[in-house]
Amino acid sequence: MRQSRSLHLLRKLAGYVLFALSAPIAKEYFVDIGFVDRFVRDCRSVFLAAARVLIVFLVLHASGGCNPVGKGDPSQRRYPLRVLCTTGMIADAVRAVGGPQVEVEQLLPPGVDPHLYRPSARDKWRINAADVVFFNGLRLEGRLEPLLVRRSRWMPVFAVTDVLRRDCPERLRPLDDNSGILDPHVWLELELWIRCVDFIAECLASVDPAHAASYRQRAQLYQAELRQLDEYARSRLRAIPEERRMLVTTHDAFGYFARRYGLSVATLQGLSTVDEIDLVTMNLLIEELVARRVPAVFVENSVSPRALEAVVAGCRARGHQLKIGGMLYADCLGLPGSPGETFLGAFRHNVDTIAEALR
């Protein structure tokens, strides 16, 4: 009896609350001539929002939600771990460090410019379904990065450049305009990339502590290969005569590379391929190339060569026989079967191409 009276009181209270809430809404609708249209439109928004919530719930449920690798219970962990990497450079490093414990997937196909890449609905599914995700960060994956940062709140998503911001921020190249933007092309300075490889091992170990020793051991082996490559690059690029030590590409991807091997850089665009190319910059570059008698400029595998071809034509019109010195792997690796299929191969190809064209 007492229970039914309490229930009755609760219902009454709920009625008052509903009335109080609905009164202003009703007023808003019924004083408006177009209330039917607005009502239909609002119903549609509510329906779409509900559908989205349902989809997110189903995705979380299907992928294991916040506990994709059975974090709390190692016996539930399934191998190999599905590791999704944005770029080929990161995928190669994770493959080397992860060994048989990981299955690496690459989100951006070879030859695709990460600055301009727009994530598709399928990409979102792939991110949600992965056990671990690695991306570059520092705005390399311009449109993808906000999505990855959001995911990092509830699943293991790591920006490999975070370790550089943490341990050696002074080594990161800032943009000259005091905007706080940092150069994301860190894989092109092998000393920095070696630190990122350490971080990849650290991250994999945090997700899968049972194999921490194997991850660290394999990271050391890969780092030894990177050190050898660095030595090779130093010896090859040292041979370029002083007056020809100028590396010209379309966008500013080779700043770290040039710093390491004592070259100067000149580009038509800034740190991102999103930047506009203006005629003033182009004319200044042509003047400098003519004055310094620089023999070659370089196109990039993921950027249109058209602007650099205009620079070559401009130099030739002024009597300087500038040539395209070859293609460099800047922001992505090459197709299977090409010299740039692996990161080590792509880097070596870049060194050889530059050394040959500028000698």
Beta partners for 326? 298
| Contact of 253 with 281, CB cutoff 8 Å | no
Question: What is the smallest separation between the CB atom of 253 and Zn ion, expressed in angstroms?
Answer: 4
C-beta of 132 vs 159, nearer to Zn ion: 159
Q: Phi/psi at 262 (nearest 5 deg)?
A: 70, 40
C-beta of 106 vs 136, nearer to Zn ion: 136
C-beta of 84 vs 186, nearer to Zn ion: 186
Instruction: Encode 53-92: b = buried (16+ Cβ within 10 Å), e = exposed.
Output: eeeeeeeeeebbeeebbebeeeeebeeebbbbbbbbbbbb
Contact residues: Zn ion, CB under 5 A: 253, 331
Question: What is the smallest separation between the CB atom of 183 and Zn ion, expressed in angstroms?
Answer: 9
Question: What is the smallest separation between the CB atom of 300 and Zn ion, expressed in angstroms?
Answer: 8
Closest CA to 338 of 318, 325, 353, 324: 353
C-beta of 93 vs 155, nearer to Zn ion: 93
C-beta of 92 vs 331, nearer to Zn ion: 331
C-beta of 187 vs 261, nearer to Zn ion: 187
| Contact of 167 with 109, CB cutoff 8 Å | no
CA distance 301 to 73: 44
Closest CA to 100 of 81, 77, 76: 81
Question: What is the smallest separation between the CB atom of 191 and Zn ion, expressed in angstroms?
Answer: 19
Question: What is the smallest separation between the CB atom of 252 and Zn ion, expressed in angstroms?
Answer: 7
C-beta of 128 vs 273, nearer to Zn ion: 273
| Contact of 83 with 201, CB cutoff 8 Å | no
C-beta of 253 vs 311, nearer to Zn ion: 253
Question: What is the smallest separation between the CB atom of 290 and Zn ion, expressed in angstroms?
Answer: 27
CA distance 224 to 94: 15
| Dihedral over Cα of 202, 110, 113, 80: its sign | negative
Question: What is the smallest separation between the CB atom of 330 and Zn ion, expressed in angstroms?
Answer: 6
| Contact of 355 with 240, CB cutoff 8 Å | yes
Peptide bond into 74 cis (omega under 30): no
C-beta of 205 vs 271, nearer to Zn ion: 271
Tokens at residue 204, please? 């994999």
Q: Which long-range contacts (CB under 8 A, 24 or more apart) does 347-351 make?
A: 347/188, 347/190, 347/229, 347/233, 348/229, 348/232, 350/257, 351/232, 351/233, 351/236, 351/237
Tally of CB atoms within 10 A around 315: 21
Question: What is the smallest separation between the CB atom of 331 and Zn ion, expressed in angstroms?
Answer: 4
Question: What is the smallest separation between the CB atom of 218 and Zn ion, expressed in angstroms?
Answer: 28
